[in-house]
């Protein structure tokens, strides 16, 4: 058995443990689904950031992505995994997460550029989760975003948190890989943060789990 295959098995066990922990938090400790969803979302995303340290090719990650896509799709259809599916609204965020992680990793391997994976997934894990928690916690006390007569299901506070954290993630990660704070680096960080924040504000039904990282990825490709 190859080393990468062994790590694949270990990752599958680890991701399964994250889902199981979410079920315990929700079912036994009665933690609200919005928070157990964010726990699973953020923890799985952060764990996936170690992929570049382990895998030289994308094949095992692609296999895991397909496995968890169908696991989460079946769970959603059969009303299983209540810690992520026990919500009244329609959301596709759970099934889109493994798709996003897989696509980002595949692109980064194809182009031999690890930051194309690290930045989008970090923004997904940190910025998107913090914005969601902030909006959920303060949602009834702060204004939602209104553009002309269109009211978005996002708050100014949540989107501001997203923008600031996405910029911090982008600028520091780009500096780590590029080695300096050049004008190009700063412009790239600003573009990623602003572009991702705008897309996040307009993305509903959990689609931001796909649209936000893909927007960040496409903007990075322009630099």
Rounded mean pLDDT, 62-69:
96
Please, what's the b/e burial string for 13-26 (b: 16 or more CB within 10 A of its CB; e: otherwise)? eebeebbeebbebb
The pLDDT of residue 138 is 67
The pLDDT of residue 168 is 96
What is d(CA 212, CA 218) in angstroms, rounded to the nearest whole number? Answer: 10
* Backbone φ and ψ of 125, nearest 5°: -75, -40
> What rounded mean pLDDT belongs to the chain?
89
Q: What would the pLDDT profile of 190-208 be if each residue is shown by its tens digit?
A: 999 999 999 998 888 888 9
The pLDDT of residue 51 is 97
Rounded mean pLDDT, 113-129:
95
Does 116 have pLDDT greater than 90?
yes
Percent of the chain with pLDDT over 70: 91
Percent of the chain with pLDDT over 90: 61
What is d(CA 170, CA 161) in angstroms, rounded to the nearest whole number? Answer: 14
Instruction: Please state the pTM of the whole predicted model.
Output: 0.91
Q: What contacts 24+ positions apart, CB below 8 Å, involve 15-19?
A: 15/44, 15/47, 15/64, 15/68, 18/43, 18/44, 18/47, 19/81, 19/83, 19/84
The pLDDT of residue 105 is 98
What is d(CA 129, CA 133) in angstroms, rounded to the nearest whole number? Answer: 6
Terminal CA-CA length for the chain? 40
Considering only 40-44, 51-55, 84-88, which range has the smallest mean pLDDT?
A: 84-88
Question: What letter would DSSP give residue 139?
Answer: T
Q: Report the residue count for the chain.
A: 223
Whether the Cβ atoms of residue 189 and residue 171 lie closer than 8 Å to each other = yes
The pLDDT of residue 1 is 64
Question: What letter would DSSP give residue 80?
Answer: -
Q: What would the pLDDT profile of 134-192 be if each residue is shown by its tens digit?
A: 767 765 555 566 666 656 667 778 888 999 999 999 999 999 988 878 889 999 999 99
Question: E strands of the chain, at which residues?
Answer: 144-147, 150-155
Residues in CB range of 194: below 8 A, 6 or more apart: 163
Q: What would the pLDDT profile of 15-34 be if each residue is shown by its tens digit?
A: 999 999 999 999 888 888 88
């Amino acid at each position: 058995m190859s080393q990468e295959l062994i790590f694949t098995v270990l990752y599958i066990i680890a991701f399964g443990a994250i889902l199981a922990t979410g079920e315990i938090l929700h079912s036994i400790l009665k933690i609200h689904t919005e928070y157990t969803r964010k726990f699973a979302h953020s923890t799985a995303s952060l764990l996936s950031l170690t992929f570049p340290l382990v895998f030289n090719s994308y094949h095992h990650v692609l296999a895991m992505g397909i496995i968890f896509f169908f696991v989460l799709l079946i769970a959603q259809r059969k009303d299983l995994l209540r810690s992520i599916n026990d919500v009244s609204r329609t959301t596709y965020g759970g099934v889109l997460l493994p798709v996003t992680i897989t696509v980002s990793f595949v692109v980064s391997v194809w182009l031999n550029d690890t930051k194309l994976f690290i930045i989008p997934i970090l923004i997904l894990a940190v910025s998107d989760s913090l914005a969601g928690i902030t909006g959920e916690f303060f949602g009834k006390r702060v204004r939602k975003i209104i553009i002309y007569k269109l009211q978005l299901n996002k708050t100014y506070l949540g989107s501001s948190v997203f923008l600031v954290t996405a910029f911090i993630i982008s600028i520091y990660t780009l500096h780590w890989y590029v080695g300096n704070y050049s004008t190009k680096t700063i412009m790239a960080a600003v573009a990623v943060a602003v572009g991702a924040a705008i897309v996040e504000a307009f993305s509903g039904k959990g689609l931001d789990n796909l649209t936000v990282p893909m927007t960040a990825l496409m903007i990075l490709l322009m630099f």
